[in-house]
Structure 1
Amino acid sequence: MEQLSVLPAIVASGEHFTCTPTRVWDGDGPVWCAEGSKIRLAGIAAREMDGTCSPGHPCPAASAIEARDYLVTLLGGAVGTTETGHIAVNGPRLSCRSDGSGKGKRTAAWCVLPNGKELNCSMVASGKALKWERYWRGHKC
């Protein structure tokens, strides 16, 4: 299957796609991809950047900054910040599978790093984010 150079705003559920991260907002996304999509990491929850947890969402003990910075580390480290406060990264190519809409113009996705580790599972294993059982749906790491 040929990869398009620019993906639609939301990649259809079940579709596989590539994401080369360029910037990150918080510990569960969005992660902006050079290919055009924005990812919300499926099945997990991290604190919002203002330190709160949305009602009904799992609420990890880790701060929003700890979660964001850990995700940035997994994506190769920060290369700067944008004028809007996003962390710029020059991340490795991720192999992702869409879980459908992540609300707004984001694709909820399960992504694998080049070393074979699942990004979503790595965030949960770190304690910086929690499984969100409603969306985890029995996923195996």
Structure 2
Amino acid sequence: MIDLPPAFVCEVVKVHDGDGPLWCRNGVKVRVAGIQAPDYESAQPCRIGRANYVCDNRRAAASQRVTQRLTLNKRLTCQPVDRSYRRIVARCILPDGRSLSCAILAAGAATRWDSYWRRYRMGECR
């Protein structure tokens, strides 16, 4: 059994990718539960190859911008559901009461990661 902290408030000060981590003012790093966004790491194979070959990180950047718009400098209420690396995986609620995972999905910035969606009992998006 994983020892998880209680629900907490995350004032977001930095966003790495469309699904996190989100850096909270208090130092906690949050991975958004149940979704998978394009990320800069997935572009890694294109870094290996040919001269004059440039990675296309436009999808990752667009996803990151959506999550920044939704979260940056806002206070989210987050319920931890797991740990991943040195991050807390959490279901977070935006100040307007919407699920952050659902808002990112609705904006087209990520896809639902079904196995984790079920594991974390994410429910339905409205």
Please state which band the TM-score falls in when normalised by the shorter chain.
0.7 to 0.9
- Could you give the per-residue CA deviations for residues 48-86 of structure 1, whole angstroms, max 9, x where no partner exists? 115539xxxxxxxx81011000001112xxxxxxxxxxx
Counterpart pick for 1:12 among 4, 15, 20: 4
- The whole-number CA distance in structure 2 between the counterparts of 1:69 and 1:11 is 32
Structure 2: gaps (5+ residues) = 45-57
Q: What TM-score comes out, normalization by structure 1 length?
A: 0.69
The answer to whether the aligner puts 1:44 opposite 2:49 as a matched pair is: no
- The whole-number CA distance in structure 2 between the counterparts of 1:133 and 1:41 is 14
Match of 2:48 in 1: none
Higher Rg: 2
Identity among equivalent pairs (%): 36
When residues 11 and 92 of structure 1 are mapped into structure 2, their CA distance, relative to the original with a 3 A threshold, is farther
Q: What TM-score comes out, normalization by structure 2 length?
A: 0.77
Match of 1:66 in 2: 62
Tell me the matched-pair count.
Answer: 108
When residues 92 and 11 of structure 1 are mapped into structure 2, their CA distance, relative to the original with a 3 A threshold, is farther
Q: Flag as ranges the 4+ runs of structure 1 deviating above 6 A.
A: none
Structure 1: gaps (5+ residues) = 1-9, 54-61, 76-88
The answer to whether the aligner puts 1:139 opposite 2:122 as a matched pair is: yes
The answer to whether the aligner puts 1:113 opposite 2:94 as a matched pair is: yes
